[in-house]
Amino acid sequence: MTGFLLLLVLSILPVVSSQAQTPRADDWQDLLMQVMEDCATEDDEAAENLQDLMDELQELASHPINLNQATEEQLQRLPFLDKDEREALLTYLFRYAPMRSLGELRLIRSLDAATIALLPYFVYIDPAETLPDSLRLLRLPDQLAKPPRTFSRPRRYAEPTPPRHEVTASAAIPLYQRKGYRQGYLGYPVRHWLRYAYSNGQWLRFGLQGAQEAGEPFFANKNGTGYDHYGAYLMWQGAGLVRRVVAGDYKLALGMGLTAHSGIRFGKTAATQSLTAWAQPLRPHTTRSESQHLRGVGATFRLGRQWQATVFASTQLRDATLWDDGSVRTFLESNPHRTQTAMSKRHNTRQSVEGGSARWTTSRVQLAANAVWVQTDRPLSPGSKADTYRKYAPKGKRFANYSVDYSLRLTRGILKGEVALNQQGAVAAIHQVQWNVAPGLLRLSAIHRYYDRRYTTLLGQAFGEGSTPQNEHGLYLSALWQPSTRWQAEWYADYAHFPWKRYLVSMPSDAFDTQFQTRYEHGAWLLNARYRLHIKQRDDPAHTLLRNQYTQRASLCAELRWSSALKAKLRIDATAYRFDSQRQLGGMVSANVDYNKTWWRLTAQAGYFCTDGYYARLFQYEPSTTGNASFPTYYGRGWRALAQGQTTLGRWRLMLRYALTHYTDRSTVGTGLQQVDSPTLGDLQMAIRYAFR
């Protein structure tokens, strides 16, 4: 399957057995959090971006779709279903509806085990319904027959649901003190946020939130109105000419990300996810993150049966580091306003965005033209003469990007891509072919990308070794083999060449990345194994030659489900780093026990880590409270333990989490304002949610 989330899920997530019972409401969060394992090794800020996807799926889980009444437009909201899988579902429903149970999903060959495991969290079955003929015609697959041109689409099929209100408050209290709170930080050490969300089925959503990072002033300094960050969004969906309107904070995803993609950037095992935009180019930004979103208004219109148009506009203030002449040196994606220096960079540059997209779609072909214009009130001047690696970074006040993206459905696969130009005429292109050699057994994929060194974009974010689609030429190959429902293996290899200088690299260089992972399930046991080798080239200490930097990572995980409520997990991680004469090794052993009943849940986790330094750091997902994605980094020596409990009492949900890290090597605890008084760092998190209709 080419769905953008499932390639990771298949590889590293526990999959329910064929005797699986009705899933518990929040189990999907554990599955989703584990998706972050590979991309966290690529991007230390990935956990913050993941929270956006968690909020989107939380909304979907709160309003599950009745499969017997589902249309393709409703299924498009599920990000782990691609077009082939949606069509397979609708074809099955056309032929055999109404479905009597979710067990029938196993009869659809295009759905793998991970898809079948996730679907019950977001769909349900009501077999007592009788289907209207208009819905049956709407589902009619093109390869069987075509609906008449005079066919009028019904407005809605889903059963009306009462409006839902949800208020969530969360706080994190450190039980230790950093030096910064005594001499530098402007606020107190508590991190807290408050959010209100309203939804009326799938057609109307509204949200308002305020967030405060630890150390930021509250009702003080430049935050006289309270929280350091406020956000709001409004989304309305219709079935006529206007299909969707989003106002306030929103996400934008066009094509494969060469012109604009403010969504989530995943690792290479999620290559199809990185390349596949959401079915809707506009989505509300629901998290407390201050970056990776636009602020303004956007709308999508349906102009006939095959045409769709999207327009958008945004204006917002961004944090930036400035030169003495007032020009922008660099934009800051993460800048907690804890100190006077950080506060001086707060919202000092205005960025305006306008653009649009026109899309033509048939059953097998999809074509789109995209245009994005960006303007800043300060000129961008990203590098000095000494920073020659930034010679081709974006410069000036006005920027433009244009692209054409396409998608062609093949008999057993898909071919898609995007070609983009910036205002200087530089080219960026990416193409992907995915072939199901044997549906449900073997799938092959290849991705070729060419990003000119002169191609620049302020909003683009596409698949690649680098963080932006620039100065890169690469080829990615992968294979997914699933000989049975119990056993699966996945491999990928990626080669990239950089024709211009990069940070710490003063000449053209190369990179190679490969990974193999396998999963085996038998009865109550689930085993996962993974090995990764990542090679990058860097300057030697004399800056005369390139030398290879080797990073190897391996993990082994065993999970045992004693019952539907109790499961335990044991995990071993290892890493090795080598560059020139520098060598670093690291390892971690951890265990997790989870007991989940209908109205309460307890989780305990403990582990010991030992690394020689930062380059051998380790990443591991941890369960966390509502609205907080937790994916800490470990280096040095010490142990980590946490306990978390939650209970649901009517409309209330209460969560309490205590985590403790003890460093036996104090040199890794912190420096400067991050220095602490004790090698033992305790953290208490609390969250409370009240939901009513």
Task: Look up residue 188 and give its two tokens.
Answer: 């107190």
Helices (H), 227-379: 271-275, 340-344
Of 71, 176, 57, 185, which Cα lies nearest the Cα of 122? Answer: 57
Residues 6+ apart with CB under 8 A from 385: none
Q: Are 524 and 538 a contacting pair, CB within 8 Å?
A: no
Least confident of 30-34, 557-561, 577-581: 30-34
Of 207, 193, 171, 170, which Cα lies nearest the Cα of 62? Answer: 207
Stretch 299-316: mean pLDDT: 94
The confidence band for 278, taking pLDDT boundaries of 50, 70 and 90, is low
Strands 191-200 and 582-596: unpaired
Residues 6+ apart with CB under 8 A from 544: none
CA-to-CA separations, 2 to 38, 151, 364, 407, 445, in angstroms, rounded = 18, 31, 15, 12, 9
Handedness of CA 156, 161, 167, 170 (dihedral sign): negative
The confidence band for 346, taking pLDDT boundaries of 50, 70 and 90, is very high
pLDDT digits (tens, 9 = 90+) for 361-416: 988 899 999 999 999 999 999 876 667 888 899 999 999 999 999 999 888 888 99
Predicted confidence at residue 53, as pLDDT, reads 67
Angle at 21 between CA 19 and CA 26, to 5 degrees: 135
Query: For 228, left (φ over 0), alpha (ψ -120 to 50), or beta?
Result: alpha
> Is 515 in a helix, a strand, or coil?
strand
Residues 6+ apart with CB under 8 A from 593: 566, 567, 568, 569, 603, 604, 605
For the chain, count helices (H), then strands (E).
10, 31
> Is 130 in a helix, a strand, or coil?
coil
Q: Which residue has the higher pLDDT, 162 or 37?
A: 162
Predicted confidence at residue 27, as pLDDT, reads 63
The confidence band for 133, taking pLDDT boundaries of 50, 70 and 90, is low
Q: Which residue has the higher pLDDT, 595 or 8?
A: 595
Residue environment code for 540-578, b if the CB has 16+ CB neighbours within 10 A, otherwise e: eeeeeebeebebbbbbebebebeeeeebebebebbbbbb
The DSSP code for 218 is S
Predicted confidence at residue 137, as pLDDT, reads 52
Strands 123-124 and 65-66: parallel
pLDDT digits (tens, 9 = 90+) for 39-70: 555 444 455 556 666 766 776 777 788 888 88
> Is 528 in a helix, a strand, or coil?
strand
Least confident of 76-85, 100-109, 374-383, 560-569: 76-85
Strands 637-649 and 652-663: antiparallel
Predicted confidence at residue 153, as pLDDT, reads 38
How high does pLDDT run on average in the chain?
A: 83
Handedness of CA 94, 95, 101, 102 (dihedral sign): negative
pTM: predicted TM-score of the whole model, two decimal places: 0.86
Q: Are 391 and 383 a contacting pair, CB within 8 Å?
A: yes
The confidence band for 575, taking pLDDT boundaries of 50, 70 and 90, is very high
Of 407, 468, 417, 403, which Cα lies nearest the Cα of 259? Answer: 403
Q: Which residue has the higher pLDDT, 70 or 485?
A: 70
DSSP string of 612-674? SSGGG-EE--B---TT--B--EE-SEEEEEEEEEEEEETTEEEEEEEEEEEESSGGGT--GGG
Predicted confidence at residue 14, as pLDDT, reads 33
Stretch 187-202: mean pLDDT: 89
Q: Which residue has the higher pLDDT, 402 or 36?
A: 402
Stretch 546-550: mean pLDDT: 95
φ and ψ at residue 621, rounded to 5 degrees? -70, 145
Quickly tell me which residue has 């989003």 as its tokens: 246
Predicted confidence at residue 638, as pLDDT, reads 94
